[in-house]
Structure 1
């Protein structure tokens, strides 16, 4: 039994002297620096109380009986402590006192165990309401929580009701300093953990939401896209190598449709449908959000579809995302574009250069991109709109001179 972790102390309450000149004796349990103090129901004459020896030195029969009873209380509390140690390594001074009184320990859930139960539950939804990639992200968040608890608390798990603002801020600090993660990655991990905490609150394992005062640090991301001139340069560039020519065409196609890599790779003839306006539309579910998207096929995108049209159900030849982005680096060298070209830049170019710079309203841009809500679109492309407004005002200023 470690003295610094667990102590039992009898305390005479001198400020509560009764008419007989006796003071009540309280028992104070201290465990890991946290106190729990309660009345014992016994009284002593303060003149005879020996605080060091923890007993009354009076020779009166009732005083001797009190000493015996206090020692019995001490022994019962020690036994309660030893008993609770065998049951769990996550308890408090309050739990020791409840054990001494014979009350059952309050049922609690543990963070890692609860997270693993959640992972097991949503694993069954893979292929139905959930993507395997999404499950893996939550699983990785769980691994991060396990690592933090071992690092911070030197335990394999802690009670779920101990999650508070301090836990969250220290978890963020751990990911930043010990795991060397960037802020956007940290925000994602905490966002996934927040999902678990929300469920825990709903199921009654937490009384308060620890996220109420927590504010994630915002990451300012610059939207990188091709300007009208840069997009034209890519389109006009003649490339003799078939592998690069294919990637160039697919990149341009995505610049005029906004499709993500997976959506482009899986685009099939069933996804091309004639709309109410007699124009071909892409009709499919967005992989990331599972939202239905409907995108009118612009003439340049239609030309590329026609170019690669075969008897196959798939519109375009198969190519991995890794190779796609690798070949884009070569295309950037050929075209003289200094920006780091990736497939995602095509999607950004569609939203910015093709849509917003041609006065397409933000709500329509949000719909065509398949964003789950327009706030995402505004946060990502708000500065693009501001830049366009600025350019228009500069042009107006010149006219008004």
Structure 2
């Protein structure tokens, strides 16, 4: 809790024999002192009990009001900084109150920028507002940045103000062609763009805290390359549903996969669903209601018959609506599932999400605005990346046109 105490430096006096009034600001066992710019004699300070008694002299009344205003300014600025980071820096608070410009803020290294942001993001994860997998990406980005500086500059860290266009360009090249992870060398374009976006996000966070004056990563002009999302047709969905599985584990994987195909939930969201996420609508229909772990946006989806059957099949057998399984095992078993069903596509858990957007919803005439809402997207553009127009939809529309011209 923030605490402000006023005191005087009795050992110092101006020509009028008055001592400067100081403010001691304390927060979380740390404190900083700063001058209020006001003066009072030690005798009057003690006589008025630090200006707490009923004051009779007009000058002291004005002085008391000035100190009250000063304390109010401290608390107001503290609350502004607290909104961005509860670990408020008292030195930064002091600089803000002194009216220092952003260019005069304390020096911060680029790794400190990442650590500051990741610490903030971790609190959001602990509060259930963001996904733990996203935090892992931010930590991985910090490690890559550190590896780059060691290899190219033989440094463990540098001041953030020294990050220039050449640094960003060299970092991009390092990520694309030299970085290594799990035995692989180099990162593909979209991952490079996402990593540098992470650095940009961390810098923007520190700009809000007045730790940085500008974002050095704004010079990066890379763009994501839009690739066609893999999805299943209705015939392929029917094939998977009707296929007899040779092993119980593959049966579970098939059910989990189909659950996501008919709900559009990402892995982390699907595995977190419980009976508490099932709600009954005004017309008696069942809905799944939850917030996406990635964006904290509500994603409400009606329970389609295939989903209802899967929920009933596993009801009471585990804490959640469906069995839990790791992404790694799930994707490995989906390869077996594709082979068994003779589907020549690289199946992953996210293929189910693409299938929901394309085949299950848009392919059956559901408006893209509603699809976007069910998938928990922040805008239609995100949905358009997943949702591809099916050939049969094009042919249906063109057949109407053909009939008209006939």
For the aligned pair, the TM-score class normalised by the smaller chain equals 0.5 to 0.7
Structure 1 spans left out of the alignment, 5+ residues: 1-104
Cα distance in 2 for residues equivalent to 1:335 and 1:139: 39
Provide the residue aligned with 1:261 in structure 2: 267
Of residues 359, 375, 379 in structure 2, which corresponds to 1:369?
Answer: 375
| 1:183/1:233 CA distance change after superposition, 3 Å | same
Q: Is the 8 A contact 1:160 1:205 kept in 2?
A: no
1:1-400 equivalences under 5 Å are 107-128=106-127, 129-179=129-179, 180-310=186-316, 313-381=319-387, 384-385=388-389, 390-396=394-400, 398-399=402-403, 400=405
| 1:121/1:302 CA distance change after superposition, 3 Å | closer
With normalisation by structure 2, the TM-score equals 0.66
Shift, 1:394, TM fit:
4.4
Cα distance in 1 for residues equivalent to 2:208 and 2:335: 49
Shift, 1:153, TM fit:
2.5
Most deviating of 117-126 and 127-136: 117-126
| 1:327/1:163 CA distance change after superposition, 3 Å | same
Shift, 1:160, TM fit:
1.2
Q: CA RMSD for the aligned pairs? A: 2.6
SS in 1 for 2:229: coil
Shift, 1:124, TM fit:
4.3
Cα distance in 2 for residues equivalent to 1:380 and 1:255: 13
Cα distance in 1 for residues equivalent to 2:253 and 2:125: 31
Shift, 1:212, TM fit:
4.1
Q: Give CA-to-partner distance per residue, 1:156-206, whole Å, 9 cap, x none.
A: 222211223332222111111211111122122111100122133334454
Provide the residue aligned with 2:98 in structure 1: none
Cα distance in 1 for residues equivalent to 2:326 and 2:108: 43
Structure 1 outlier segments of 4+, above 6 Å? none
Q: Is the 8 A contact 1:201 1:208 kept in 2?
A: yes
CA radius of gyration, larger in: 1
| 1:313/1:138 CA distance change after superposition, 3 Å | closer
Q: Is the 8 A contact 1:224 1:345 kept in 2?
A: yes
Q: Is the 8 A contact 1:161 1:205 kept in 2?
A: no
Equivalent pairs, count: 295
Higher relative contact order (CA 8 A, sep 6+): 2
Cα distance in 2 for residues equivalent to 1:319 and 1:148: 35
Shift, 1:134, TM fit:
2.7
Shift, 1:122, TM fit:
4.0
Structure 2 spans left out of the alignment, 5+ residues: 1-103, 180-185
| 1:125/1:209 CA distance change after superposition, 3 Å | closer
